[in-house]
Homo-oligomer: A and B are copies of this chain.
Amino acid sequence: MELWYTEKQTDNFGITAKISKTHVTEKTDFQDLAMIETAEWGTMLVLDGMVMTTVKDEFVYHEMVAHPALNTHPNPKHVLVVGGGDGGVIREVLKHPEVEKAVLVEIDGKVIEYSKKYLPSIAGALDNPRVEVIVNDGYMHIHDHKNTYDVIMVDSTEPVGPAVSLFTQGFYKGIYDALKEDGIFVAQTDNPWFKADLIQSVNRDVKEIFPIVRVYCANIPTYPSGLWTFTMGSKKYDPLAVDETKIPEIDTKYYTPRLHKAAFALPKFVEDLTK
């Protein structure tokens, strides 16, 4: 007997992955959570029927959330990650020695608990002494912390379920206020093949609040279409003004200093969404 995880990424298209073991399927207070063992991608975390991360390809997403912003800000001491309970973005943030404190605010404590148990290569970073883990609503945390962070990263699920409020202009305004005067924020903003409208509307909203807005892409094979976008809003520093030759080499598998600006060179149909 073969068991397969099949995810309809749209009504008419999806991916399918052979399962060797199901560790957890649980309805948490916020969402449906599954932790499954796949033959192709290793352990896979699924929330509300969407792949969040897998051991084999997680490095792409986590590196590409963290490093472009941290290598744009000249001195990121205080970093906030909203969502990201698997700990992967935090692990990448900690590769930057200038970061003194990284705060994770995850709404669903079960994501943290099961990630620590089944995804130790990702979630192990959450036990680092430079990290503070808070189980709370990121939207509220943002609004309670004015002028606090150098960099804020939004590692949310799609805009369904608990993440709906994280794709609103009110949230982006709150992020602006929670950042220091030269702060930078970055959010995952889904894929351009099936969610072009979302990318466009986020871009419009963020442009009304931040003077510098840039979109970049990365390839994530287990995410819909394999092409993922990230939207960066910055008060002062432009990621495209960075001198790539000055970016220190860090231990990565996807991001490189040579990719720093290149990731912002968008396919024409994606570029058109940002105009």
Contact mask for chain A residues 38-53; partner B; CB cutoff 8 A; 1 contact, 0 none? 1111000000000000
A12 near B18 with CB under 8 A, answer: yes
What is the distance, in angstroms, from A183's C-beta to the closest C-beta of chain B?
Answer: 27
Residues of B within 8 A of A38 (CB): 12-13
Residues of B within 8 A of A271 (CB): 256, 258
Question: CA of A129 to CA of B263 in the docked complex: distance in angstroms?
Answer: 39
Question: CA of A6 to CA of B6 in the docked complex: distance in angstroms?
Answer: 11
With both beta carbons as reference points, the residue of chain B lying nearest to A192 in the complex is identified as: B219
Residues of B within 8 A of A263 (CB): 262, 265
B225 near A252 with CB under 8 A, answer: no
B262 near A261 with CB under 8 A, answer: yes
B12 near A39 with CB under 8 A, answer: yes
A193 near B57 with CB under 8 A, answer: yes
Residue with the greatest number of chain B CB neighbours at <10 A, chosen from A15, A17, A267, A271: A267
With both beta carbons as reference points, the residue of chain B lying nearest to A13 in the complex is identified as: B40
Residues of B within 8 A of A193 (CB): 57, 221
Number of copies: 2
Contact mask for chain A residues 221-242; partner B; CB cutoff 8 A; 1 contact, 0 none? 1000111000000000000000
Question: CA of A57 to CA of B194 in the docked complex: distance in angstroms?
Answer: 12
B217 near A225 with CB under 8 A, answer: no
With both beta carbons as reference points, the residue of chain B lying nearest to A220 in the complex is identified as: B226
What is the distance, in angstroms, from A254's C-beta to the closest C-beta of chain B?
Answer: 5
What is the distance, in angstroms, from A227's C-beta to the closest C-beta of chain B?
Answer: 4
Residues of B within 8 A of A17 (CB): 12-14
Besides the known contacts A12-B17, A12-B40, 20 further A-B residue pairs in the complex with CB atoms under 8 A apart: A12-B18, A12-B39, A13-B15, A13-B40, A13-B41, A14-B16, A14-B17, A15-B16, A219-B219, A219-B267, A220-B226, A256-B265, A256-B271, A258-B265, A258-B266, A258-B271, A259-B265, A259-B267, A261-B262, A262-B262
- Which 7 A-B pairs have CB atoms at the shortest separation, nearest pair first? A226-B226, A262-B265, A12-B39, A262-B262, A13-B40, A219-B227, A12-B40
